[in-house]
Copies of this chain bind each other. A is one copy, B any other.
């Protein structure tokens, strides 16, 4: 299975919701993303196929090592972009978050690195 933008979103959400990977309810994910439980359920099957998550006790959703690495990477990208937008371009945090949230899935590593170093040396 390939990670699409949508799937990456799910991973990031699971990561952000699970405290120390203690497992997340499908309902929680649905509420956070403001989408139906059914959609989440379907997506979880695909992510399980791809070995990004597994279902544990009480049907909770857990990230696998692979899933966790992906999620962490995405979260880092998000933060890099958001910080860059805020500190270098002086964008409001709300809007910076929105922009970062779409950019994180598409931006090249080159651009990402450049953003990071410019933000740091600032």
Listed in ascending order, the chain A residues whose CB lies under 8 Å from chain B are 85, 88-92, 95-96, 98-99, 102-103, 106-108, 110-111, 114-115, 118
Contacts and interface: CB of A to CB of B under 8 A. Distances in A.
Contact of A103 (B88, B91, B103): B103
Q: How many copies of the polypeptide does the oligomer hold?
A: 2
A76 to B, nearest CB: 18
A89 B103 contact: no
Contacts of A114: 85, 89-91
9 contacts: A89-B115, A89-B118, A91-B108, A91-B110, A92-B110, A99-B106, A99-B107, A102-B107, A106-B106
B107 A103 contact: yes
